[in-house]
Each structure stands twice: as structure tokens, then as C-alpha cells.
Amino acid sequence: MCACSSNAYLLFLTFAGAAAAQTAPGLREAARLDQAGRCQESEVIYQRALAETSPGPALLNNTGNHYLICGQPAKARVYFERLLKLTPAHPNANLQMARIEMAGGAFARAEEILIKLADAHPGDFDVLFLLGRAAARAGHLPRARESLEAALRLRPDDAGVMLEAGLANAASGDFPRAVFLLARARGHSPKQPDISLALARASEDAGYYGDAVAAYDHYLALSPGDDAARRDQARARALTSTGREAGIRDLQAYTARQPKDPLGHFYLAQLNWREQPDAALASLAEAVRLDPNLAPAHISRAWLLHRVGRAEEALPSLEAALRIAPNHVRALDQLGVTLLSLDRPKEAEAALRKAAAVAPTDADVALHLGRALVDQGREAEGQAFLDAFQKLRPSRQRDARRESGMIELATLDPAGRRAREIERFRSMAKARPDDPLLQLHLAGLLLADGQTAEALREYDVLASLNAEKSIWAQAGIALLDAGHFAEARVFLARGFQQSDEALHPDAARAAALLLAYEGHHAEALALLARTLKSHPADRGLLLMEAIVLALKGDAMQASAKLSVIQTRWRDWALPCVVHGLLLTEAKRPSEAAVKFRAAGIAKLSCATLREWVFGTCGRC
């Protein structure tokens, strides 16, 4: 709703009805002319009335409304301010002043006015709705959500309220609620483009990529000329389980059409950084050339340079990001991590202390600052931050939902959602019994739901189908993570024996772990070596190589490789855990304790590396 449109101010007829009834017939006629859009004629009446008498509340109120309806909010402000000096609690004057502040971007001031108005009129829909909008734009999301939910209870089928409430919930990170509200809003107003676009963006931000693609389709049918939305849809499609190649092609086509859009290049780098790090770095360089103020691209470029072992080159990108946003927590944190990898702990400490001052509850910053202090020999001081990390570290979040269905499922409770998903995939797999991807998802859902026997039967069905190497690898990894090693090997063997090409790093890591579990250490190391030729900077593969060497009994070589990994990736906890367990087995508890503290672990229940890798207290 436009803050200063004529429709936005019809409420004065209800707020000021009693006062309007006391006005002279001329003022009633002027109000009628205003509503008819005949502002020049009504202006004559108002000016004559103002000249004839000392204006009272009714005349000031109607004159202010007149100027708002006729598109002159600055003049309206003058009369409403005069009215509020006479009657500070005047409801319409306060409401319209809040609207004027909103139109001028003074959201906090509008919110302040509306809080008082809501206290005086707690059940008024228009006050609650406007308060929710003002609070959201002022960044006060809890109040925004509370006010908008209250407005929604008064008008549960109002698409405008559902839109605003959905946006506030998305900004707060409550994506299931946001998607639910926006999906309902779209159901009530399917032809309203901004609702469809908000639903697409909320689904994408939530990681519901399949739903986002479908929502973008709906939006683009309404707004076919929005090429930026096609760009965003291409990114979302590339993040679905089956649309990666098509999404990347669409994004490449977009960057060819719109070569001057920095976000197109930035998104392309987000998608191909692992397989094509050099191409991703080139895309990021082009993004920051086109928009030198695109701080996320500078930070991403620095992160990728650091990841591929070019830490020194990462520093200029981080410095550029911090010139744009001096208090950007992720840039400061990445700067600290990069300086640590360059053996410059004192400078790292300075960057990380600034990050901690900006975000004192950020778990990553606490962990990295603790390590910077430990690296300088200040273990007691560093331990305080490592202890803080233990309290701040977030619980594991579930992975992104890459297939569609969350818009439909958003209204169900967790048990109901999973049951619906299982039935949905069971039905689709029955209708398309030769589709290995559907069978994979059905088996995985059953396994995650604890229906192990049925899940293993569905995996047997999957094994009888023809599938790509990636499907076998995904099934093997899921079974391996669930501890079903014998069943996992069937799939992982297919995942890497179908060709002589190097495996995808995730599949190679899982296959090597399974081979090591069965005692085939030489085969595991050969597999990792083959894959590392194609992915020499993949830290997961390098760590797995060190783990297999340790499990084989070659502690000296494993320790040397772990030291190299820890120097290169100072912000990574897993190598410290592995090294600590290796030192524990070597009866070197004090050195092991240093490694565990660097990983942010106070105590580890596993006694051996093998127990940690294959047991119940952790898996790499």
C-alpha cells in the first residue's frame, strides 16, 4: 500500500466521524470533493474556512486530510502538528503523522507514534498493521511479528497482512512460517506479482530450492520482463538435486545477456567454485570490477583464495571489503583466519578482537580468537574464548531442501511433514518404478525416519535399477553415515568402479573410509591419491588421507600431513581433533590437550581414533 495514496487515508472518515459531523456544510462538501479527486475545488473551500475563523480540531483535521489525499504531505504535516498541539491524543492525526513519517523513511519515529496509538486502540486493525510495517522497516522484528500476527487474527484472509507477516518472519529466519504465510497470501491473491516474488525469495533463502524454482515460474508468468528474477531462478535451479547443469547453463546465458550485472558473475562463482576454482575466481574478479562496493564478492574471493592455498593474495580482497564495511564480522573473521594461516597471530588477534566487539556472541569469532591467543602462548586467555565457543556453537542445522514440496508441507508439524514426504515419494516411486532418484529419496526418508528395515528393502530395490554414479555415491554415503557399512559398500563400489575417472571428492572420501573400516588401507590410499590428482586442494580428501594413514599405523606420516593441514587451514577444527586422538594413542596427553583446546573441545569420550571415526562419538 502506498503510504500517501488517496485510498490510504479513507480511515479519517471513521477516526474523525464525530468531528466531521460537527463541521459546517461547506466542509462536508469539501470532504466529498476530496474523495472525488476534485482537489482544486475543495482547496477553495478550505482556504476560505481557514481565513474566516480560528481553526479548531475539526477544520485542522479535515485540512490535513485534504492535503494528504491531494498528494501534498508536507502541507498536511503542518496542519496535523497544529492539531496535535491542541489534542495530543487525536487518533487520526497520530495515524496520519505515522503514515507521513513512514513515507519519509522515518520508520522508528512512525513506530514510536503507533505504539502509543496501539496502547489507546489495542484492537484497531489499521493501527496494528501499520505498526507491524513500521517496526519491520525499523529493524524491530519481534514487535513487527507480534503486531502483524495480531492484525492477522483480526483479518485472517487479508493477503496484504500475510505478505507483510511473511516478510517479517523471513527476515527473522523463521522460514517455515514465512513460506506458509506467503503461500496462503498467494492463494488469496494469485495475480499479485510482489507476493509471488516474496514467496520465491523466502523459499530460496530457506534453502527450499525446488519450491523457489516453482515460485519463480509463477512470478515470471506475471512479470515476464524481470530478467533479474530469471537470474535468481537459475541460481535456485542449480542448487536443486537434479537441475544443477540446467541452472548453470541458464546463469551463463544470463551473464552473456547481461554482462554488466555483477550479481550474475557472483552467483556463477558460488556454483562452480569447487569444480572450477580458477573460473570462480575470475567470475568474482569480474563482479568486483563491475561493482567495487560489492563486499560479499570481495569476501568470497578472499575465502576461495585462502581455501586453495593462496592466503597472501586474499588479504587485498579483505582489505577492500573492510573499506566498504569496516565492521563486517565475516570479513574481520576471515581476515583473522587468513593472518593465522600466514603465521601472523598478533595481527590476527587485532582483527578478531574487533570482530568480537561487533559480534560478541559469534561462535566462529570466539573459536578463532581463542586459537590466535593460544598460538601466541597465551593459553589461559585463549581457553576462555574456546570455552565461550562451546557455549555459543550452534546446533547442527538440517540441510537445504532441494526438491519442491515445502510450500505444501509448511503447514504440517515435523512428524506430519516427514510422513507426507514419505507417502509422496512412495507414490511417485510406484508410478515411476524405473526412476532411481525417486527410489533414492524414498529410501533415504525411511532411513531418516527410523524405519530401518523398510529403508534397507527400498535400497535393495534401488540396487536393482540402472543409475548414474552420483546416485550410487549418495546412497552409499547415506548408508555409511547411518552405520550400515556392508550395504554401503554395494553402492560405493559402483560409485567408483564404473569408470577409471577420479571420483567426486565426497564419494571418494566415503569410499576410502569404508575401505579403511574393512582393513583395505592400501586401496583406500590409492583411491584418495587418484582423486587428489583432480582435486589437489580439497581439504576433506587431504584429511581423509591422514586418517587412513593413522588407521594403517603410520602415525609419523599421518602426523606430518595433519601439521600441514592445520597450518594451511587454521580455522578448521577436525584436523585438531584427529591429531589430538593420534597424540592420545601415543601417550602424549598434554600435547593432545592442546589440540583439543584448539578445536574448542573440553573433553572427548573416544579413547582411540578408530573409535571416533567408526563409533558413536563422532565421525569425520
What are 346-378's pLDDT values in tens digits? 999 999 999 999 999 898 999 999 999 999 999
Domains 7-222 and 537-620 fall in the same CATH topology: yes
Model confidence pLDDT, tens digit, residues 393-437: 754 344 444 555 556 555 455 566 568 778 878 888 888 888 888
Alpha-helix residue ranges (DSSP H) falling in 258-410: 262-272, 277-290, 295-307, 311-324, 329-341, 345-358, 363-375, 379-392, 406-409
Sign of CA dihedral 441, 399, 413, 146: negative
- Summarize the confidence of residues 283-288 as an average pLDDT: 96
State how far the Cα of 205 lies from the Cα of 400, in Å rounded to an integer. Answer: 10
Question: Of 121-130, 229-238, 456-465, 472-481, which range is least confident?
Answer: 472-481
What are the φ/ψ torsions at residue 571 (nearest 5 degrees)?
Answer: -90, 5
CB-based contact 440:465 (threshold 8 Å) = no
State how far the Cα of 556 lies from the Cα of 543, in Å rounded to an integer. Answer: 15
Domain spans, the chain = 7-222, 537-620
The conformation of residue 242, written as its DSSP 8-state character, comes to: S
> Helix axis angle, 295-307 relative to 262-272, nearest 10°?
30
State how far the Cα of 504 lies from the Cα of 506, in Å rounded to an integer. Answer: 6
Model confidence pLDDT, tens digit, residues 526-575: 989 988 887 787 788 899 999 999 999 999 999 999 999 988 877 678 88
The count of residues in the chain is 620
399 C-beta neighbours (distance < 10 Å), count: 7
More confident site: 504 or 243: 243
Would you state the cell numbers that stand for residue 604, as one nine-digit string?
572427548
13 pLDDT above the threshold of 70: no
Would you state the cell numbers that stand for residue 430, as one nine-digit string?
510406484
pTM summary value:
0.63
Catalogue the long-range contacts made by 254-257 (C-beta closer than 8 Å, 24 or more residues apart).
254/227, 254/230, 257/227
Fold of the CATH domain 537-620: 1.25.40
Say how many Å lie between the first and final Cα of the chain, rounded. 52
SS3 393: coil
pLDDT of residue 417: 59
Question: Of 168-172, 246-250, 388-392, which range is least confident?
Answer: 388-392
Place of cell 462536508: 28
196 pLDDT above the threshold of 80: yes
SS3 188: helix
Residue 146 amino acid letter? E
- Summarize the confidence of residues 257-281 as an average pLDDT: 94
8 pLDDT above the threshold of 50: no
Would you state the cell numbers that stand for residue 500, as one nine-digit string?
577409471
Residue 264 amino acid letter? G
CATH 1.25.40.10 is the classification of domain 7-222: yes
pLDDT of residue 52: 81
